[in-house]
Amino acid sequence: MGDLNYIPIDTQDIISNYLEAFIQLDKSCFEENWNEENFLKQVSGKFNLSFLCIHQRELVGFLFGSYYAWNKQKVAHINRIATSTNHRNKNIGSKLIWNFEKKVRHLAMDIVTIEFNSRLNVSEFYIKNGFMPLKTNEIKSYLIAKQKLDKLELFKSFELNIWKKTLKRC
Ligand SMILES: CC(C)(COP(=O)(O)OP(=O)(O)OC[C@H]1O[C@@H](n2cnc3c(N)ncnc32)[C@H](O)[C@@H]1OP(=O)(O)O)[C@@H](O)C(=O)NCCC(=O)NCCS
C-alpha cells in the first residue's frame, strides 16, 4: 500500500476543507452520525489532539480528541475515531492513537479515556492499544466530570463501555 500521511487537525480550516469527506467517512462507520455542527464544534484541546490520515489524497481515517478535568487532573479523551472500511486492519486506527498519545504526553497529561457502544464490537482494538475498562468505583465520578450522569443507566445495562489508558512516562 502507498504512503499514508498522518496530519494534525490543528485549525478549523482543515476541518472545513475536509468536511464533506469527514461526513461521508463517518456515515460509513457509525449508526449515529456526526453532522457538520459536531465536526465544527469548538471543544477544549481539539486542535491539539485531533488527526486525520490521508492515502492518495483520500481521507481514510480520523481521530478527534479533546481534554477535560477529572479528579483535578487534566485528562485526554478520544471523542471519535474511524478508519474507512477498505483500509481497516492496516494499523491506521492504532497509528492515529499513537499520534494522539504522543501529543497527550507532550501536553503533560497521562490519562486517556474513551467511551464506546457495545454494539460497535471494538473491545479487541482497544485492548490491543492498551486500554482497560474503568473500575466500578471510578464510573460515577467520570460521568459527573463529563456532565453525563444521565448515562449511568446505559453503563449499568452494559450498552456503554468506558475505558481508560494510563500512559507510561517516557
Ligand atoms: C475501530 C477502528 C477505528 C479500528 O481501525 P483500524 O484502522 O482497523 O485499526 P488497526 O488496524 O490499528 O487495528 C485493528 C485491530 O483491531 C481489531 N478490530 C478492529 N475493529 C474490530 C471489530 N469491529 N471487530 C473485531 N476486531 C476489531 C482487529 O482485530 C485488529 O487487530 P489485529 O491488528 O491484531 O488483527 C475501525 O474498525 C473503525 O473505524 N470502526 C468503526 C468505527 C468505530 O467503531 N470506532 C470506535 C468507536 S469510537
Atom 34 of ligand 1 has which residue's CA nearest to it?
Answer: 128
Phi and psi, residue 131, nearest 5°: -90, 160
CA dist 170 and 155 (Å) reads 33
Question: In terms of Cα–Cα distance, which of 141, 140, 132, 92 is closest to 113?
Answer: 132
Q: How confident is the model at residue 78 (pLDDT cuts 50, 70, 90)?
A: very high
* Residue 1: per-residue pLDDT: 61
Cα of 116 from ligand 1 centre, angstroms: 12
Which atom of ligand 1 lies closest to the CA of 115?
48
Atom 30 of ligand 1 has which residue's CA nearest to it?
Answer: 89
CA dist 15 and 39 (Å) reads 7
Q: What is the CATH number of the domain that holds 51?
A: 3.40.630.30
Domain of 159, in residue numbers? 4-166
Average pLDDT rounded to a whole number, residues 143-159:
93
Q: How many domains does the chain have?
A: 1
* Residue 23: per-residue pLDDT: 98
Is 41 near ligand 1, meaning CB less than 6 Å away? Answer: no
Q: How far is CA 154 from CA 6, 118, 162, 168, in A?
A: 34, 10, 11, 31
CA dist 48 and 100 (Å) reads 9
Over the stretch 103-132, which tens digit does the pLDDT of each residue have? 999 999 999 999 999 989 899 999 999 999
